[in-house]
Amino acid sequence: MSAVLPKAFPSSLNCSHLPAKSKKKKLVASPQVSTKGELVMDERDALKSGRSAKVKRKRGDKDSSFVKTIGYGDENTGFRVKKESKAAVVEKKEKKIDEEVLDGGEETVLQEEEESYLSDTRFDECPISASSLKGIKDAGYVKMSKVQEATLPLILQGKDVLAKAKTGTGKTVAFLLPAIEVLSKLPSSNLGNKVSPINVLVLCPTRELANQAATEAKKLLKYHRSVGAQVVIGGTRLTQEQRNMQANPCQILIATPGRLKDHIENTAGFQARLKGVKILVLDEADRLLDMGFRRDIERIIAALPKERQTLLFSATVPKEVRQICHVAMRKDHEFVSTVEEGTEETHAQVRQMYLIVPVEKQLSVLHQLLTKHISQDSDYKVIVFCTTAMVTALVAEVLGGLKFKVREIHSRKSQSYRTRVSQEFRQSKGIILVSSDVSARGVDYPDVTLVIQIGMPSDRAQYIHRLGRTGRKGKEGQGILMLAPWEICFLDALKDLPITEATPCQPDPGCQDKILKVLARIDMRNKERAYQAWLGYYNSAKGVGQDKLRLVDLAREFSESMGLREPPALQRKVLSKMGLSKVPGFRSI
């Protein structure tokens, strides 16, 4: 495979020498301040809007081409305006770095980089309520992140906002804080009343993400005594959620779309409460607006007042999403991106590599990658993403059998189990989480050292979100994508990202024997389920599933990799649902 990809790292990297965590980061050249995380627009527009902006450059016009503006100077929001020329910003930054370097040491340099997702604006410089400020202070947040700085004034002005910012840069607070501020200014008859209207509705694509957003909301609401946030996510009894919403203040409702639709259809009085919605947030907007969720979202939006503010946030906003965001937003919405056009959507401090490994060797290469990583970093915290829930369960079982400290999380586990494992992983070090895409988006596990993706993700955005579980809040991380030779086509979707090829490892033959022994002990039903799930996934995967005869061979390869002599037979109706009942080579029962 010719590497069409930018060479940010050595391409001939043997995976037995995968980069150890670098001890000292390089000092990023100070002018980065002029190119990172700022909007690009005409100088006049930038000054007018007051947004932090990199101004479109005119030829021969260097120093005056950057205007950094903090806040909006808007009388409604009370933001102050501060304008600095590029030269002044660079000079200030250089001075700060010089001082830090003189001050000595790695720590300050590391801190400088780790804080690169933060802006220079402090929360206490913003016109937000004392109660929110106290909550923010208790949460330990001092400076706003860039996306928070860029979106807060717009949201407070009542604008609809579509915001794009890299993973782990504080998007949740970016929509929750202004939403709480809007709430706290509503007439007091709305507040404190237990069966009050729902004023802020946040939709998240997964239960984990909804729970996490609720935790963040509770931090910010700590001193807003009469405002409450509730979660409706499924996996628990509908009646339990109904009771919670009835018995506790619920001006902010955080929900997954399916369960919310259930409440719209089955909870008495719920539709009436939704008529109070002033702000709708679609977290991970591109995922929520893609085909899988579109119908539910349209149904939900139809139940909401037309007069409302809508906020869409994500780390990836593909063109199609921009085209269909009129489904939810007003035409004159603002698009804010803290990812500069032409730059990558992934973090520079996360090393990305791919490995091409035949399916039958993937488990032993995985074993080797994990062993190496654990030996290099005793504080390892790894997520291994697999294509489907049942493949996730199988890989977790194999790794457990190989004596790794491993946990699994996917949709086939009960919600209480998922919540428990998620909490344990959040708080632990020295642990591996094998996960399906339930952890791909938004989930904020601190200090993940390595993300491994086995098999092609559903699309480019999903690759970026999964990778985004490491390198959060400016920290370092590594990502490895393991593809079978016939999945190479997926790399086309990543060609503008700094991902490079690692030289394939030669797995230790002893390890292969161990894996076969572990596989032999695994219940046949688990292998059958994994096979069926695998087939379902690749049958509809772009670039693989179209050629059904080829799919027969690839599925056989997968079943052999689980130590099976022949692929399991599938129920006729399952094959027929997949459109494979007439394909010779698949066995049915």
Ligand X SMILES: Nc1ncnc2c1ncn2[C@@H]1O[C@H](COP(=O)(O)OP(=O)(O)OP(=O)(O)O)[C@@H](O)[C@H]1O
| Closer residue to ligand X (CB): 174 or 198 | 174
Residue number with CB closer to ligand X (171 or 361)? 171
What is the chain's Cα-based Rg?
A: 25
Which of 465, 527 has the CB closer to ligand X? 465
How is the beta sheet containing 161-164 ordered, strand by strand? Answer: 229-232, 252-255, 200-203, 279-283, 309-314, 161-164, 334-337
- Measured in degrees and rounded to the nearest 5, phi and psi for residue 152 equal -55, -50
Q: Measured from the CB atom, is 174 or 535 closer to ligand X?
A: 174
Between 212 and 387, whose beta carbon lies closer to ligand X?
212
Report the residue number, 337 or 539, with the smaller CB distance to ligand X: 337
Contacts for 372 with CB less than 8 Å, ≥ 6 apart:
15, 16, 18
Q: Do residues 500 and 9 lie in contact, with contact meaning Cβ atoms separated by under 8 Å?
A: yes
Shortest Cβ distance from residue 145 to ligand X (Å)? 5
Question: Which of 171, 333 has the CB closer to ligand X?
Answer: 171
CA of 197: how far to CAs of 150, 225, 353, in Å?
A: 29, 17, 49
Cβ 567 to ligand X shortest distance, Å: 37
**What's the min distance (Å) between Cβ of 317 and ligand X?**
12
Minimum separation from the CB atom of position 284 to ligand X (A)? 7
CA distance 495 to 464: 13
Buried b (16+ CB within 10 A) or exposed e, 359-393: bebbbbbbbbbbebbbeebeebbbbbbbbbbbbbb
* Cβ 168 to ligand X shortest distance, Å: 5
CA 291 to chain centre: 19
Q: For residue 354, list its beta bridge partners.
A: 481, 501
Shortest distance in whole angstroms from residue 131 CB to ligand X: 17
CB of residue 381 vs ligand X: minimum separation in angstroms?
A: 14
Residue 78: burial class (beta carbons within 10 Å; 0-12, 13-18, 19+): middle
**Residue with smaller CB distance to ligand X, 449 or 500:** 449
> Which residues partner with 67 through β-bridges?
53, 85
In terms of Cα–Cα distance, which of 197, 432, 436, 390 is closest to 304? 197
CA separation for the pair 9, 276 (Å, rounded): 52
Q: Report whether 371 contacts 421 (CB < 8 A).
A: no
Report angle CA 537, 538, 544 to the nearest 5 degrees. Answer: 155
**What residues make contact with ligand X under the rule CB under 6 A?**
141, 143-145, 148, 165, 167-173, 315, 442, 444, 468, 472-473
Count Cβ atoms within 10 A of the Cβ of residue 411 and give its class: 0-12 exposed, 13-18 middle, 19 or more buried: middle
Q: Which residue has the tokens 């996960």?
A: 435
Cα–Cα distance between 3 and 352 in angstroms, integer? 13
Q: Give the C-alpha separation, 359 to 392, whole Å.
A: 15
User: Which of 290, 528 has the CB closer to ligand X?
Assistant: 290
CB of 334: closest distance to ligand X in angstroms?
A: 18
Please choose, from the candidates 584, 525, 577, the residue with its C-alpha nearest in 3D space to the C-alpha of residue 556.
584
- Which tokens go with 211? 């729970």
d(CA 438, CA 408): 11
> Is the CB of 299 or the CB of 473 nearer to ligand X?
473
Write the CB contacts of 307 (distance below 8 Å, at least 6 apart in sequence): none
* CB count in 10 Å sphere of residue 495: 12
* 137/143 with CB nearer ligand X: 143
In the bound complex, what is the minimum distance in angstroms from residue 123's beta carbon to ligand X? 7
The nearer residue to ligand X, 471 or 568, going by C-beta atoms, is: 471
134 or 473: CB nearest ligand X: 473
Name the residue nearer to ligand X (CB basis): 296 or 444. 444
